[in-house]
Structure 1
Amino acid sequence: MASVRKRDWTSPKGEAKSAWVVDYFDQAGKRRLKTFSKKKEADAYIATAVVEVRSGVHTPDSQSITVADATKLWLASCGALERTTVDSYRNHVELHINPYLGRTKLSQLTGPLVREFEDKLRKGAPAAGEGEGKKRSAAMVKRIVGSLGFALSDALERGLIARNVVRDLRGSRKRGKDVHAERRQKGKLKVGVDIPTPAEVKAIVGALDGKWRPILLTAIFAGLRASELRGLRWEDVDLQKREIHVRQRADRYNVIGPPKTAAGERVIPIPPVLVATLAAWQEKAPKSELGLAFPTGRGGIEHYPNLVNRGFRPAQVAAGVAVPGQGGEAEAKYPGLHNLRHFYASWCINRRADGGLELPAKVVQERLGHSSITMTLDTYGHLFPRGDDGAELEAAERALLG
């Protein structure tokens, strides 16, 4: 039998005190008592506890593990995932989740507490024992809370909690408004800001030389991810058929493995300028036991910072694709190779009259190796020709009305 009763007492200093006590039996038949300062909180607790006891999933505070313990169990179960993914999860736990919530028991973790945690991350409020905090971006907060949700799902499967408050919280939000707000904050990719213009790419191509020319031309005209470029083998380059087969990649730890998703394994047609450049490079490229097309001078896997800092950025400055730096010197306008991947996507999408390939969205998705058409359209949908400009509307009007 579960009940809520009021308890009154007098403190040693003679002060009148009162509290609300929840008195119930758990699923093992053991009596449990829990005290609250407000009757509303006691009523809410007993309503939830009774349902959990009937379902056999109730965990009293005294037997509940902490968030830190739960995240430790979860990380230990992630061994089958990629090393980079596990390291990202571990950083979320050690740098963000545990400093704020590590000592909190799972049974005491609530939706409002998670919302407060989000607010602290976003505002940069320091965790307990820290002198000052650091603001996290909205995208980072989303990833951190997502990792907390994964840890709670693991705890739920282990029978350590009755529900996943992160999942409940996200489910209760108006998803449509959240998506629109996130898109507004992130903004659309802009040509000349995130995506190099055709004129800028033409200038960059003209400035490329040495070992960086073949790999950066491949990034421009095949749209490979940096990891796919670093892991590309000669056996995956078919110069006669003018195509590249993406079958593997090199992660940030220089570990060779398959693409992250099944869609990442694909065949990409390449233009004559890239075919000729790769043919010339194949004759003088360093030998690699791994058969890599773009190895280091010793035949190993090229490091990403080298591609950017020694290849892409100097080429931009040499091509005049630059912005003033802090010291007044010219700096590269675009920070990384993903900007070239954005250009490749725009090149696939643009009208032929504008120098593009004018490919359908589904083909663009396949060329980029996206796992879904939604990802392609969410990222690049605004670049597709609208088909409703003035000239086309006028022609359609004449065809309809004569």
Structure 2
Amino acid sequence: MANKDGHRRFGSVRKLPSGRYQVRYPGPDGRIRTAPETFARKGDADRYLTLTEAQIARREWTDPDRAKIKLGDYAKQWIDQRPNLRPRTVHLYTWLLGRYVTPYLGPVELGQLTTPLIREWRAKLLGNGVSQSMSAKAYRLLRAILMTAVKEDEILPKNPCRIPGADQEKASERPVLKVAQVFKLADAVPAPYRALVLLTTFGCLRWGEVAALQRQDIDLGAGTVRVRQAVTEQRGVGLVLGPPKSRAGRRTVSLPPAIVSAVREHLAAHVDDDPDAFVFTGPTGAQIWRGNFNKLVHWPEAVAAVGVPGLHFHDLRHTGNTLAAQTGASTRDLMARMGHDSAQAALIYQHATTEADRAIADALEGALERDRTHPRQPPAASQAEPRESEMDVSESTLDVSMSECDILESSKDRGEPQ
């Protein structure tokens, strides 16, 4: 804005030899800045100054010189300056950036990132065959990096990652095994890994957690397993023992008696008496790797025998979590068993259980509706009382089977391991 003498109170505009207009103004620190672009018309330059002055007054201004840092450089700094990231997380973030982000957006200055440019980048990923799940992971990482540029470093005025639904993964529903299938799978793998399948499933353990278990972590008397560490595989380093995935990952999990019995047999047959001895190892006594697991336990053949091709090892934990939710446990108790800091995962499993319960209620309603529409004639006085199989609403009509948890508790009646 100009004063009565025609001079501006804030900043200055001058015409360059090219005929375009250049803007200069003082930042909040008193240093003179030059606008990152020139203007074809003086009115446009004046409006830029007016907007910049208002941003400074509202404390919404960001330094355009700092916004010249390239995304690739800033993203690397972002990872390096987070000392609490787990090594596996650092590896994952670095890999996602190198594979999906920096090849497209790495040379772009932060100040030049816009929502249309982010949308174009995501469209290229999907167009090049990158899955929606992996695209969502890369998008969430980019959004987190740029949120730091907005909230903490105050380099950007707002986050350009503003694409609805881009952060959502729509992965296919993973299979949930029946209890009988879990035991069949355990019987299909080599004997040294039978307890691995059962403990992972009914203890709701992650791969890194079960691979890190030592004899001292098993309390057969109490029927519990203690999770205090996890294994991660680092490229160029090998297997590394560290803390669990989160603070809530440190936990003690109670096991069903049938699983305690299987673990007892495993410890007696395959694990040294040393408290530090790992519970599950390879043929040479070395720790098991995720990379050679399928070959070690003949996983593809085992899952084929169960009739669930494509089953992942993590689906065992998924199955255990589902069974735990079906018991009616509270969200907090499920969080503690699963090792989650957030209630989100537990709520997902509870939601699945709620849907199953609603299906039962719908089946009941269908049976009741049929009875109201076509009422049965009362028996004649000379007729015998109806047999139990002739009752209007029967278990066979509803097709409701015993829950998996009930089957587990009665496994001794089927001669299965205790």
Q: Deviation of residue 206 (structure 1)?
A: 3.5
Q: Deviation of residue 69 (structure 1)?
A: 2.1
Deviations 1:310-345 (A, max 9, x none): 32333223x3425xxxxxxxxxx1332111112112
Pick the aligned partner of 1:348 from 316, 321, 324.
324
**Aligned equivalents of 2:49, 2:330: Cα separation in 1:** 57
Q: Secondary structure at the match of 2:38?
A: strand
TM-score (norm 1): 0.73
Match of 2:240 in 1: 255
Q: Secondary structure at the match of 1:267?
A: strand
Percentage of identical aligned residues: 25
- Relative distance call for 1:30 and 1:70 in structure 2 (3 A) is same
Structure 1, 195-204 or 210-219: larger mean CA deviation = 195-204
The answer to whether structure 1 residue 218 and structure 2 residue 221 are counterparts is no
Structure 1 residues 73-152: aligned runs within 5 Å: 73-124=77-128, 135-152=129-146
Deviations 1:7-55 (A, max 9, x none): 997xxxxxxxx86x45231414536252357999978865654345554
The answer to whether structure 1 residue 271 and structure 2 residue 256 are counterparts is yes
Structure 1 residues 179-258: aligned runs within 5 Å: 182=168, 185-186=170-171, 189=173, 194-253=175-234, 254-258=239-243
Pick the aligned partner of 1:163 from 157, 178, 189.
157
Structure 1 residues 382-393: aligned runs within 5 Å: 382-384=352-354, 385-386=357-358, 388-391=361-364
Match of 2:279 in 1: 293
- The aligned amino acid for 1:258 is P
Match of 1:370 in 2: 340
Q: Deviation of residue 153 (structure 1)?
A: 4.2
- Relative distance call for 1:158 and 1:383 in structure 2 (3 A) is closer
Q: Deviation of residue 108 (structure 1)?
A: 2.0
The answer to whether structure 1 residue 315 and structure 2 residue 288 are counterparts is no
- The aligned amino acid for 2:245 is K
**Aligned equivalents of 1:85, 1:38: Cα separation in 2:** 50
For the 8 Å contact 2:11–2:24, the answer to whether it is kept is yes
For the 8 Å contact 1:243–1:268, the answer to whether it is kept is yes
The answer to whether structure 1 residue 283 and structure 2 residue 262 are counterparts is no
**Aligned equivalents of 2:34, 2:42: Cα separation in 1:** 17
For the 8 Å contact 1:223–1:344, the answer to whether it is kept is yes
Q: Deviation of residue 59 (structure 1)?
A: 2.6
Q: Where does the alignment leave 5 or more consecutive residues of structure 1 unmatched?
A: 10-17, 125-134, 323-332, 351-356, 396-402
The answer to whether structure 1 residue 59 and structure 2 residue 63 are counterparts is yes
Match of 1:127 in 2: none
**Aligned equivalents of 1:255, 1:86: Cα separation in 2:** 14
Q: Where does the alignment leave 5 or more consecutive residues of structure 2 unmatched?
A: 1-9, 369-418
Deviations 1:100-119 (A, max 9, x none): 12222222222332222222
- Relative distance call for 1:123 and 1:35 in structure 2 (3 A) is farther
Over the aligned positions, Cα root-mean-square deviation in angstroms equals: 3.6
Asked which structure has the greater CA Rg, the reply is 2
- The aligned amino acid for 2:81 is S
- The aligned amino acid for 1:282 is L
